[in-house]
Chains A and B, each alone.
Chain A
């Protein structure tokens, strides 16, 4: 079935270090991969996305890479700051049913 796996479930880094969150998807026809950030008690917010015709996309300290052959994509956060602490969700838009399937989330803690 349509599935997105996300790892790790929790990640603790020192301020200034990099953080990497990885996701794999099952539907090879998936063509759109957004990442959401959800701070405690708040709604998810789109922070970056990538389409299947692009291998990498950057926006300041965050970047996303996509490997279509392996069916996995990753979020990279460089020079982490305490305000980056949140739960991050990856998602994949399935190509056949056009549903947005989410990963189970990664709780990122940036230690000052």
Chain B
């Protein structure tokens, strides 16, 4: 069974631009969570999607948004990029909501904002 995949793996943008990241979950997994990983802050929860609905949202500004499609693939979007948005963005999939013991992470998308 293929693992969680994320595209693109690396991205360089400039301040003010917007970016869209994609996450394809493990086949059969319907829940997708997104995390931001930075050296100083560790892993911070962004949001969780299940059945195309956002179930939970972390403490991030409205510039961060996401969505989930009927095939469980998920995208996250960051508008008006700031330097501080430079980070590794990880998504994780699990069979259903709160089945964190069966949660698997993707390889991440490393975003650099110049």
Report the minimal beta-carbon distance from A100 to chain B, rounded to whole angstroms.
6
Residues of A within 8 A of B44 (CB): 102
Q: Which residues of A contact B (CB under 8 A)?
A: 1, 6, 32, 34, 42-46, 49, 89, 91, 93, 97-105
Q: Are B98 and A98 within 8 A (Cβ)?
A: yes
Kindly provide the distance from the CB of B46 to the nearest chain A CB, expressed in whole angstroms.
Answer: 10
Are B105 and A44 in contact, CB atoms less than 8 angstroms apart? Answer: yes
B73-114 vs A, Cβ < 8 Å mask (1 yes, 0 no): 000000000000000001000000110110111111000000
Since A42-B107, A98-B97, A100-B100 are in contact, a sample of 7 more A-B pairs with Cβ atoms closer than 8 Å, ordered by chain A residue number, is A6-B42, A46-B103, A89-B43, A93-B98, A93-B100, A105-B42, A105-B43
Q: Does chain A have a CB within 8 A of B58?
A: yes
Residues of B within 8 A of A43 (CB): 90, 105-108
For the A-B complex, the count of residue pairs with Cβ-Cβ distances under 8 Å equals: 50
B53 adjacent to chain A (CB < 8 Å): no
Instruction: Jot down 12 A-B pairs with beta carbons below 8 A, ordered by A.
Output: A32-B100, A32-B101, A42-B107, A43-B106, A43-B107, A44-B43, A46-B101, A46-B104, A49-B101, A89-B42, A101-B45, A102-B43
Cβ of B71 under 8 Å from chain A: no
State whether A34 touches B43 (Cβ < 8 A).
no
* Shortest Cβ distance from residue B92 to the other chain A in the assembled complex, whole angstroms: 8
